[in-house]
Structure 1
Amino acid sequence: MNKLFTQMVLAFICTVATAQQTDSIAVKTDSLNKQYERRDTIRIGNIVIVTNAGNHRQTGNNTNITLRRKRQGKLSNISTNWGIIDFGFANYNDKTNYAAATAGGVLVNAPGSTFPLGASDFNLRAAKSVDINFWLFMQRVNLIKHHVNLKYGVGLELNNYRFRSNISFKEPGLSPYAGMAAIPNAYIIRDSISFSKNKLAADYITVPLMLNFCSNPGYHNRGISLSAGISAGYLYGQRNKQISPQRGKQKNKGDYDLEQFKLSYIAEIGLGPVRLYGSYSPASIFKNKLDMRPYTLGIRLSNW
């Protein structure tokens, strides 16, 4: 009887020990599984790398890696771009009637001259006639699902026209030629000396307004971006800068009969990270007689 009781006790102890060992192994296995299910996430730009994602398990030295693109956040309805710079070329389409400009006293020739001022005197050095613009900011307002936007801003336009000839711009006053009466309006002469540098600079405060189309909203350096509209500029500075051996460097600021306001058609195209701009004014930059319609073309350094 005692022998039978002893055998029953030993059997019970073995059963309990086996159950405890099984539970311990299950806990360790579950702990390992949870350890292997931990996620390590790395973000590189818009790419997300997840190691051991989901229920994949690590076996030996093998690691499961999942690649996916980071979800794009909600785009703002108004975005601002600060400190934009343009580098380009400035020129004009010359429609002047030079006979009428001479008769109207805008072009003044030396007495007895057999070669009056004409279109050739206003030819530009195209490579040195530059357009440099500094835009304080530009904003883009969402109109239709960020594909169609309203774009506007404010900045400075600096147009520089470099002449091949030796013309000089003069304010109203005494004639440079003896025996001629005072001239009541701004005028232009062919000077008696040669200039190594001769340019007319016109500086504007400008407000552009454009309708913008963007093929890939949220990714500024991908897809195509097109903008077109108008700009209004206010002339705040004009000068005739000249350099010569006889007179040295001269920067003559004055009123040379330039229009106070300039209205232009403008456009911009972005192909990936490259942005080009252009403008054309259908009206002359001069008030009287001279009909010169300016245009520009260049590269824009902008985020969008």
Structure 2
Amino acid sequence: MRRIVFTLALIGGFFSAMAQDGGGSGVAKKALQKSSDFLLVELSYDAWSGLPSGVKTGFNRGFNTYFMYDVKLQPHLSIAPGVGFGTSGIFLKGYRLDNSDGNVSTVPSLSSTDNKGRFKVATTYFDIPVELRYRANSDNANKGFKAAIGIKAGYLLNAHTKEVLSVNNSRVVEKEISRRYFNNFRFAATARVGLGPIGLFGSYNLNPIFKNTSQLDPTCYSIGIYVSGL
């Protein structure tokens, strides 16, 4: 997590230096007044579709942060490529996923458990999103109606499971870090709509989460709120 924050800070500092080059404080002041949605932060509810019957999940959460470069095509239309990171955490109810490297099985599988604690499947991706944007206010993304559709490609940086157990009335946390079952890449369709710097967004993965889908074939989707600016 510290590496991700450090990388984001480096990327942000690079783009910030570019934006302020030759303009000093006047450029910074203008950037605050006339946003082009350079920074995009998303908080989502995530879910897996295609789970076996009876398998339920809890309050799943996702968090994405992207730096986008807005290129105008027409007064109200622009295209914006970017880079950033996306995380997702899926909480299984009454089931667990064996993600250990010691598992000889070649396919991911869920097994039921009587554990009253929590079981989480977490992933972190390095994403490259591209959006086609519409803004009613062509000069300032902080005002008026706006909408965007796009795609993003992601590379899996980390996948792990975490289980909270109660052993002899003591809290025990077991964590397994392994990408062996997971696809190294994800591709997703995205859309968002909002007023000023706040709005709603959604995304749907176009490929499955796991490499071998013969027994388990979920696909991830997200809905949530976003904040944009700069």
TM-score category of the 2 structures, normalised to the smaller one: 0.7 to 0.9
> Structure 2: which 5+ runs fail to align?
1-29
Matched, 1:229 2:156: no
Q: Deviations over 1:174-224 (max 9, x none)?
A: 6xxxxxxxx342543525550411110111000111111111112333221
Matched, 1:81 2:38: yes
Q: Secondary structure of 1:144's partner?
A: coil
Q: 1:172 to 1:221 in 2, by over 3 A?
A: closer
Matched, 1:141 2:75: no
Task: Give the aligned partner of residue 49 of structure 2.
Answer: 93
CA contact (8 A) 1:265 1:279 kept: yes
Q: Which runs of 4+ in 1 moved over 4 A?
A: none
Picking from 97, 122, 129, the partner of 1:208 is 129
Matched, 1:292 2:222: no
- Greater Cα radius of gyration, structure 1 or 2: 1
Picking from 244, 267, 270, the partner of 2:194 is 270
Picking from 215, 219, 244, the partner of 2:165 is 244
Q: 1:210 to 1:221 in 2, by over 3 A?
A: same
Query: Please, which moves more after superposition, 258-267 or 242-251?
Result: 242-251
Hey, what's the Cα distance between the residues in 1 that align with 2:110 and 2:178? 16
Q: 1:262 to 1:293 in 2, by over 3 A?
A: same
1:269 Cα offset (Å): 0.9
Q: Give TM-score, length-normalised by structure 2.
A: 0.75
After TM superposition, list the pairs within 5 Å mapping 1:101-250 onto structure 2: 118-121=52-55, 123-125=56-58, 128-135=59-66, 137-145=67-75, 147-171=76-100, 173=102, 183-190=104-111, 192-246=113-167, 248-250=172-174
CA contact (8 A) 2:201 2:223 kept: yes
Hey, what's the Cα distance between the residues in 2 that align with 1:274 and 1:262? 26
Larger relative contact order (CA 8 Å, sep ≥ 6): 2
| Identity percentage of aligned residues | 25
Q: Deviations over 1:16-37 (max 9, x none)?
A: xxxxxxxxxxxxxxxxxxxxxx
Hey, what's the Cα distance between the residues in 1 that align with 2:113 and 2:138? 58
Q: Secondary structure of 2:98's partner?
A: strand
Q: Name the count of aligned residue pairs.
A: 192
Matched, 1:255 2:179: yes
Q: Secondary structure of 1:211's partner?
A: strand
Aligned alpha-carbon RMSD (Å)? 2.3
Q: 1:164 to 1:256 in 2, by over 3 A?
A: farther
Aligned partner of 1:302: which letter? S
Q: 1:287 to 1:153 in 2, by over 3 A?
A: same
Hey, what's the Cα distance between the residues in 2 that align with 1:89 and 1:236? 21
Hey, what's the Cα distance between the residues in 1 that align with 2:110 and 2:148? 41
Q: Deviations over 1:226-260 (max 9, x none)?
A: 11011001011000011011270122111341111
Aligned partner of 1:129: which letter? N
After TM superposition, list the pairs within 5 Å mapping 1:61-80 onto structure 2: 79=36
CA contact (8 A) 1:220 1:303 kept: yes
CA contact (8 A) 2:99 2:176 kept: no
Aligned partner of 1:293: which letter? T
Hey, what's the Cα distance between the residues in 1 that align with 2:37 and 2:133? 14
Hey, what's the Cα distance between the residues in 1 that align with 2:112 and 2:37? 48
CA contact (8 A) 2:99 2:181 kept: no
Hey, what's the Cα distance between the residues in 1 that align with 2:156 and 2:181? 11
1:172 Cα offset (Å): 5.0
